[in-house]
Structure 1
Amino acid sequence: MNSPEESILNPRITRRRFLQASGAVAGAAGLGVWGGSGTLFTLDAAEAKTETGAAAAETVITKSFCHQCPARCGIDVYTTNGRVHAVYGTLDNPLSNGKLCPKGHYAQYLLYDPDRIKGPMKRTNPKKGRHEDPKFVPISWDEALQTVADRLNALREKGESHRFAVLTGRGWGYTDVGLLKEFGEMYGTPNYNLGHSSMCSDASETVKHFMDGHHAYSAYDYSNCNYLLVFGAGFLEAFRPFNGNMQNWGKMRTKSPKTKVTVVDVHLNTTGSAADRLLLVKPGRDGALALAMAHVILTEGLWDKNFVGDFTDGVNHFKTGAEIAAAFTDKDVKAWQEEQARKAAKKAESDAKAAAKKAEEKAKAQAEIDGLKKKLAAASAKDKPGIQKKLDEALKKQAEAEASAKRIAEQRAALDKDKKPEPRPVAGAETFREKWTVGLIEWWNAELKDRTPEWAEQVCGISAKEIIAVAREFATTKPAVALFERGASAHTNGVYNGMAIHALNALTGNMFAKGGLRGYQMKTAWAKLPIKHEDYMDDYAKSPERKKPRIDMAKTEKWPLVKNMMQEIAVNHLKGEPYKLDTAIIYMTGAVFSGPDCTKWEDAWREVFVIDTSPYPGETNRFADLILPDHTYLERLQIADTYPYEGYPISMIRVPAVKPLYDTKVFGDVIIEIGKRIKGPMAEYYKKVGNTENIIKWMCEGFKDKPGDNGVVDFETFKQKGVWYRKPYAYLQKDGVFYKWDGQGYNYVMSEEEVKVEVMPTPTGKFELKVTELEHHADYVHKRLGIPPEKAPFPQWIEPKHGGDGDLHFISPKLALQAEGRSANLPHATAAMQPAQGGRHDVFLEIHPETAAKRGIQDGDRVRIKNKIGSIEVLARVTQATRPDTVVLPMIHGHWAQGRWAEAKGRLPTGSTNEVTENLSEPLSGLACYHSGLVSVEKV
């Protein structure tokens, strides 16, 4: 019997597929592809001949965009005689600017990957398991699509259409994941697009939604930034957009003044090694650091008064441990009057002393002059010249002193004339008048007054001295940016950590500002489709019976605030709560490997008819019943909006650089073709839609009214340029005033209502330090986190709860070459996978020398990581680059079904980091708590 690898990689194939495979490997050989044994795969000249057989080289440059991260950098694909041989960043694309990150050059490796799946296949072995051979056999597309449609039609006939789900990872736009909403509504399932965002970075989006009204990734103006404060975001490893970040890093670090960078993380990564300051924080305790910074900024009067507001009496009332009343009382007025009287008495006393001193100095000078005059009158002719000289000097000095005194008096009079009278408190009037924030004084009283640097030092492990220094730097070096990601938020207290960090941007006036947090990505001018899916919904789809909860329970009482809960799908299915799935399509996600406590997915997929769409082998393939392989991205026609960048709208198009090498089909067209086979009116809808190319052409009609800055006006010019964009970003906040671009400049001053609608769409139209939505869900917050309901709306410190068990924190970060897991089967990527720790070919567990010594572990030893969830084995890298209480293993480790190089013989037993990561979720955003685990480590 063939091994599972042989079955997946080399199914029983037709002669046509064999020839296609040979052609693809020929292309791979031209790139120098290395086998697991270290030998170079080669082909003879006959096998390497091009399809056309043409002798003369003809090079074509095709516009496309990269696939390796969310940024969607524009790329130029170089094809000669039908073979892709190079990929470069598009020069006139404002995101790539002719440059790519290291991942951008994966394209041809992925196109010519010899492990690619060559066409649709079906499983013939009913048994499913990690070590079971699926015994895939090739089938036609017609059979494959009809198989899916038959299952979906059968579910509909039984009234069980909700048991069909589509699980999605990286969506690219309306022509793939964007199609699923209409499909799901016409078919009748709430599970039409179960996204992976809860296993990605939903906490950061949730924080922004709570505080400034945008459930989105922020756009930053890095190139004009003077201070960058990074909390747990691998800016030079995995923070979006990586290519743009590297370009901006060069600008930030070479401009004058050079941008200062402080990194807060648990280990030394590439970003930390390049920063000015690295603070190794205890895992999950970034929020304590941010709260203490806010305390310093307020007590030292460093907040931005133009954006935030100020005390109405002009006095800083932020005093450690002291509450501030919302309004002045008669007692406050009396205290103010007494204080003014004390100040006046003190000033009068000081003035009197100064006047007496001046009078004494004047009298002394006059006495000296009078004495010299007497001496001069009585002196001999010989002594007179010397005494006269002294007298002249004294008179000159007296005149200069009088002139100086007069000048100072005039200056003081002018200052007194222009000086505004000190504000007088009025009983019942507000103590602090906020401008663009809401709830500052309440936040201070409820939380911040006691969050001193000394308190934070005990909580997060960063010295009070360092906290004070960073707070002062951040508040006084403008413009500045505080950003965070999973390092700070992938914990049970992640949203509150993130709220504390994001509040720093508001306190310092860097929201929507030049060089600060610029805003959010604007929408592209796409035209709407000329056909409405609502017109093709039958009575079944419209029935109240279709209003079932999603299988992940998002937006239910269990998870009322989340967008997705992918990590709950397998658990819920196995429990049958709220029901069992029957059929699932998987698109660009692989929770069998990447989901926390990932072996639960193996149990779930044994019970579900699984349809995988990946063009590559992977852990999901091993459990698939049907494989409908997608094109690789150099073979696709596809569109997508970029995110996040500098705020102004940018959209890209992928134009196929080559015809599909194998019998594959783009995912969007697969959905449309299945739709054509569903009984009822939705089939007519999809017949009229036709295919994804029609959709793209329709959508590009919007460019006629809003042409791109580069002259893109329709589908054809879009293909030629590869990008549509319109600069600049529409909004700017400066000195507490919001401006809108009027075509010539930021000249239009916005009203508060306009700001609320267009810039900060929170319920208050302000940056909410007291979050309205958390006020409305205070009981839920209390139930899940134990926070008193009255404190629920504020950024605050709560202890993280750690999953697993053991004495060491376990962190699984992403790396620069990871490409969200796709690069594990690329030998040139794995050769430099873990640069800061020297990882080559294998990914190492970072462990501190003290920690290693206690366990008898030396560098390079084989070690076992274990807890109540499971165990895996890895190689140890003994390094001072991590905290003694923390071990670090990059998330790319441990693929066991992704291809020949990911599974090379002789390597350690493989196992995902998620086999020792408990399935815990942050309760407000639903983000999987990948960084909250505890483990023990022992030498094998």
Structure 2
Amino acid sequence: MNITRRRFVQGAVAAGTAAFFWQAGCNARLETLEETDAVVEMPQEVQGLAAGEWVPSGCLGCTSWCAKEVFVVDGRAIKIRANAGSKVHGGNDCPRAHLAIQQVYDPDRIKQPMKRTNPRKGLDEDPQFVPISWDEAMDMLADKVMELRENDETHKFVLFRGRYTNINDLFYSSLPKIIGSPNNISHSSICAEAEKFGPYYTQGYWNYRDYDVANTRYMICWGVDPLCSNRQVSHYLNAFGGMLKNGVRIATVDPKYSNTAAKSEVWMPVKPGQDGALATAMAHVILSEGLWSREFVGDFTDGSNHFIPGQDANEADFEEIYSHGVVKWWNLELKDRTPEWAEEVCGVDADTIRKVAVDFASEAPHVMVFMGGGSNMQVRGAYNSMAVHALNGLVGAAENKGGTITGRSARLGSLPKPDDYMDEMATTNSKQKKIDQRGYLEFPALKDGKSGGGVVTNRVADAILMEDPYLPKVGIGYFCNFNYSCPEASRWHEAMSKLEFYAHCVTHYSEMSHFADLLLPSTHHMFEQMSSAAQKGNSFTHLWIGGRAIDPVYDVKNPESEVPWMLAEKMAERGFSNLMDFLKEFKDPETGQAPGNGIELETNAFKILTEPIWNPDAYVEAGNHGDSFDAWEAFLAKGIWNSDEYEFKKLWGKMPTATEKFEFYSETLKEALEGHAEKHGVTADDVLEACKYGESKGERAFVPHYTPPFMHGSEQEYPFAFIDCKSHMAREGRSSNCSWFQEFKDVDAGDMKWGDCIKLNPADAAALGLEDGELVRVVSPTGEAVTTLKTWSALRPGTASKTYGQGHWAMGHVAAEDFVGRKSRGANNNDFMTADYERLSGSTAFYGSFRVRIEKV
């Protein structure tokens, strides 16, 4: 990222100096490190300190979920490095993890429980929080929950979840059920979901994929920048060097010249939203040029190629092997999707489309299309997701060496189930409709092929405002900040103002905390609590675990174990012991001892979950694969489990689709769409119309196909398609209160330190009479914001790009320009992005769906 060591040291010293003055002003319980510059300047000496030790841990700063080690000296965490025992990323790191040091010792953290004293809620209201004890806080929360039970309104309880650890079901799933609510609402659909839609409705896999980059020959990065975001950044930052040295060819599809594009042989600056045109044109070329995989897809019985542009092929003449419906796909969609047609639609010239398609297929099957959210988290992104991923199937790269693979997971133990602790009220009320409107006609959310199977996170704000299906009364949230992270954030401000009582479990006061009645300060996952998470990469899967590396810096509790334990105690005092009785089922697998407090519950839960890894008998019984241990302490000491290497081709002919094959004509989607339609007494075409897919009717609805993007704002009034992009430095949108984040923000190409900007191509800026560095107003159909203009040549003309991560008016004195006065540093993209959805998956639309105009302030 072109950062000199000297500059890094200067930034670290500046950060340490700033922290010293904050401590003096805030009376924080935080001692300054002596010789801060020496610590950064001489890491080898620090590592060699006799008093220190490396403690296993892990990072939840993005969905890479890397295994880490924390260097602890005299009870203080002072350095972080990768756990080299991981077969996913080895000893490789990314910048995000190191910011966690500043997070855990941040004097702006919430230091003890706080309660709201101003009964009025609103953006302009001062909550007037005052400190209270944990005992008083849990009394308040228990009273509110018991009030719901007394009034038979338990379904009006809601639990919001953001990031989480492996034991999240204890809190996220079980607690609402025992109380009697269906409402556990995760962040998932503002993270991905549409990205999972295509792989599921072609090969039956609703999850993130792994990519065997070590053995690939050609890589197309589509709507994703593996060197900056997505999964396993640490691995890809290291792997790309070897790939390029070994002659791997890379093409990038992205309207902006991303980090990955800079390493690519070809950059294809597609028009935002038009990914489906490019993908179907490439499929047309592969078939018409006879470059598909005969081994995987099959062939015409006479050995000739009957995929002739503009002409139907006879299905009976083609004998498929591990795929289903390739000729149907050609006849229904591909025969007319020539590169020349696509050039007019997607803005990539026909010669480039043809060349990339031919070069890609010629290197097959050890090739891949690495798909991210840019191509599919759009209002009409589901079929883009199918079309882009289908290219992997067409050339035999799905589940193949050097291709895209599903990965494998550790076979873990099961946490106790809540069913036996659900009384009649809980059983009845937990069957009520969920508050996010999933399963409504216009919100199929077809996760795993089920109507309403997925979450529609951002729709909760509208549901609360409409009181449809009902108005929730009591909520708990943890590791979430939907008032900042969801498009059209103003809706969340209004919705949270209507929620009668809300408890927020967070490390820092956030935009969502502003509407809370209780602030429950949380442990930091990397240092102050036991944590575990799994991720795949490099054809392996790892599961890391870390204990409590340091004592909590402040009076904080783990929201997934200590908070439910304390709530259970208070509810038992009020005559409802079901939750406590359930939690006592989490017995230590080694001793059989029930937990006696929240910390013991935390430990027992992780021991139960991971027993098939650390207990040799359970390992054999589970049929596990990969590392094994002879005791819990041995696993905890190493802090990492690795799977065996992936078995390629094992799912060929055994894919979990309706046909057990890779489906170019998706019988799986047909079954799901028709099932949702039957539920509402309409046709599949009616469902698609309600979901803004009016042109996707009849048989075309079941094949990957091009559909024009649905864009909010006319091109005449809003001339620039907006591109929301990710930062190297953002830890789930929460790192902006770290001075290191601000000091090195310009590692995001075109961005600026300690500030914020929106980028335009210089030609576009000149046409508007705008100059680099001046303040501009960004206006969309639903909102506006003021930020700085930066001209950036590495951007497709007609687009405007802005990095997500600034614009906090909460979080702390560094994140906000004026924390006390609630003045943000820069602008939050979600303040002017319109709330809309890819409704078939439930995903929030972040890309290819919005237009803006740029005005001089």
Question: Could you tell me how far 1:672 is from its partner in structure 2?
Answer: 3.3
757, 769, 772: which one aligns with 1:856: 769
- In structure 2, distance between residues paired with 1:557 and 1:156: 31
> Which residue does the alignment assign to 1:78?
71
> Which residue does the alignment assign to 2:605?
695
Which amino acid in the other structure matches residue 157 of structure 2?
F
614, 624, 627: which one aligns with 2:519: 627
2:410–2:625 contact (8 Å) kept in structure 1: no
> Which residue does the alignment assign to 1:415?
none
> SS at 2:260's partner residue?
helix
2:476–2:502 contact (8 Å) kept in structure 1: yes
- In structure 1, distance between residues paired with 2:29 and 2:813: 25
Q: Does 1:914 align with 2:830?
A: yes
Alpha carbons of structure 1 residues 908 and 664: separation in structure 2 relative to 1, 3 Å: closer
- In structure 2, distance between residues paired with 1:655 and 1:680: 29
Question: Could you tell me how far 1:298 is from its partner in structure 2?
Answer: 0.4
Question: Could you tell me how far 1:587 is from its partner in structure 2?
Answer: 1.5
Alpha carbons of structure 1 residues 222 and 45: separation in structure 2 relative to 1, 3 Å: closer
> SS at 1:642's partner residue?
strand
15, 18, 34: which one aligns with 2:18: 34
1:35–1:41 contact (8 Å) kept in structure 2: no
1:874–1:908 contact (8 Å) kept in structure 2: no
> Which residue does the alignment assign to 1:930?
846
> Which residue does the alignment assign to 2:455?
564
CA deviation string 1:61-120 (max 9, x = no partner): 211011211222111111111111111111222233122101121121111111111011
> SS at 1:32's partner residue?
helix
Question: Could you tell me how far 1:658 is from its partner in structure 2?
Answer: 0.6
- Equivalent residues in 2 for 1:324-363 (5 A)? 324-326=313-315
Q: Does 1:794 align with 2:783?
A: no
Which amino acid in the other structure matches residue 727 of structure 1?
D
> Which residue does the alignment assign to 1:102?
95
- In structure 2, distance between residues paired with 1:813 and 1:911: 14
- In structure 2, distance between residues paired with 1:107 and 1:911: 23
Which amino acid in the other structure matches residue 391 of structure 2?
L
108, 120, 124: which one aligns with 1:127: 120
> SS at 1:466's partner residue?
helix
1:287–1:501 contact (8 Å) kept in structure 2: yes
- In structure 2, distance between residues paired with 1:911 and 1:585: 27
- In structure 1, distance between residues paired with 2:21 and 2:30: 25
- In structure 2, distance between residues paired with 1:673 and 1:512: 46
Question: Could you tell me how far 1:137 is from its partner in structure 2?
Answer: 1.3
CA deviation string 1:872-895 (max 9, x = no partner): 001011122112210001111311
Q: Does 1:681 align with 2:578?
A: yes
CA deviation string 1:508-527 (max 9, x = no partner): 1101111111223x232322
> Which residue does the alignment assign to 2:759?
846
Alpha carbons of structure 1 residues 644 and 44: separation in structure 2 relative to 1, 3 Å: closer
> Which residue does the alignment assign to 2:355?
469
> Which residue does the alignment assign to 1:615?
507
- In structure 1, distance between residues paired with 2:606 and 2:773: 52
> Which residue does the alignment assign to 1:644?
536
Bigger drift between 675-684 and 209-218 goes to 675-684
282, 285, 295: which one aligns with 2:284: 295
Bigger drift between 693-702 and 585-594 goes to 693-702
Q: Does 1:548 align with 2:432?
A: yes
> Which residue does the alignment assign to 2:719?
807
> Which residue does the alignment assign to 2:183?
191
Which amino acid in the other structure matches residue 388 of structure 2?
I
- Equivalent residues in 2 for 1:409-448 (5 A)? 430-448=316-334
- In structure 2, distance between residues paired with 1:813 and 1:33: 31
1:226–1:480 contact (8 Å) kept in structure 2: yes
Bigger drift between 293-302 and 232-241 goes to 232-241
743, 747, 750: which one aligns with 1:831: 743
> SS at 1:124's partner residue?
coil
Alpha carbons of structure 1 residues 46 and 575: separation in structure 2 relative to 1, 3 Å: closer
CA deviation string 1:381-405 (max 9, x = no partner): xxxxxxxxxxxxxxxxxxxxxxxxx
- In structure 2, distance between residues paired with 1:239 and 1:168: 20
> Which residue does the alignment assign to 2:728?
816
> SS at 1:107's partner residue?
helix
> SS at 2:189's partner residue?
helix
418, 430, 437: which one aligns with 1:533: 418
213, 230, 249: which one aligns with 1:260: 249
> Which residue does the alignment assign to 1:222?
213
- Equivalent residues in 2 for 1:43-192 (5 A)? 48=32, 58-174=51-167, 176-177=168-169, 179-192=171-184
Which amino acid in the other structure matches residue 187 of structure 1?
I
> Which residue does the alignment assign to 2:235?
244
Which amino acid in the other structure matches residue 441 of structure 2?
E
- In structure 2, distance between residues paired with 1:432 and 1:732: 26
Paired residues, what number?
776
1:573–1:580 contact (8 Å) kept in structure 2: yes
Question: Could you tell me how far 1:57 is from its partner in structure 2?
Answer: 6.2
> Which residue does the alignment assign to 1:781?
688
> SS at 2:817's partner residue?
coil
Which amino acid in the other structure matches residue 720 of structure 2?
L
Which amino acid in the other structure matches residue 630 of structure 1?
S
Question: Could you tell me how far 1:698 is from its partner in structure 2?
Answer: 2.2
Alpha carbons of structure 1 residues 553 and 304: separation in structure 2 relative to 1, 3 Å: same
CA deviation string 1:119-174 (max 9, x = no partner): 11111112223343222111111221222121111112212111111111122212
Normalising by the residue count of structure 1, what TM-score does the alignment of the two structures yield? 0.79
> Which residue does the alignment assign to 1:764?
659
Which amino acid in the other structure matches residue 444 of structure 1?
W
Over the matched positions of the two proteins, sequence identity in percent amounts to 32
Question: Could you tell me how far 1:30 is from its partner in structure 2?
Answer: 11
Question: Could you tell me how far 1:843 is from its partner in structure 2?
Answer: 2.3
Which amino acid in the other structure matches residue 234 of structure 2?
N
1:676–1:686 contact (8 Å) kept in structure 2: no
2:535–2:543 contact (8 Å) kept in structure 1: no
1:804–1:917 contact (8 Å) kept in structure 2: no
2:102–2:738 contact (8 Å) kept in structure 1: yes
Alpha carbons of structure 1 residues 431 and 852: separation in structure 2 relative to 1, 3 Å: same
Q: Does 1:719 align with 2:614?
A: no
Alpha carbons of structure 1 residues 788 and 46: separation in structure 2 relative to 1, 3 Å: closer
- In structure 1, distance between residues paired with 2:431 and 2:818: 50
Question: Could you tell me how far 1:35 is from its partner in structure 2?
Answer: 6.4
- In structure 2, distance between residues paired with 1:109 and 1:647: 33
Which amino acid in the other structure matches residue 603 of structure 2?
E
Q: Does 1:594 align with 2:485?
A: yes
CA deviation string 1:357-415 (max 9, x = no partner): xxxxxxxxxxxxxxxxxxxxxxxxxxxxxxxxxxxxxxxxxxxxxxxxxxxxxxxxxxx
- In structure 2, distance between residues paired with 1:46 and 1:121: 20
Alpha carbons of structure 1 residues 621 and 462: separation in structure 2 relative to 1, 3 Å: same
Bigger drift between 625-634 and 534-543 goes to 534-543
Question: Could you tell me how far 1:853 is from its partner in structure 2?
Answer: 1.4
> SS at 1:810's partner residue?
strand
CA deviation string 1:652-690 (max 9, x = no partner): 112111111111000112123323444153331124433
- Equivalent residues in 2 for 1:573-584 (5 A)? 573-584=464-475
Which blocks of at least 5 consecutive residues in structure 1 are unaligned? 1-27, 51-55, 327-429, 740-751
Normalising by the residue count of structure 2, what TM-score does the alignment of the two structures yield? 0.87
> Which residue does the alignment assign to 1:499?
386
Question: Could you tell me how far 1:532 is from its partner in structure 2?
Answer: 4.0
> SS at 1:272's partner residue?
helix
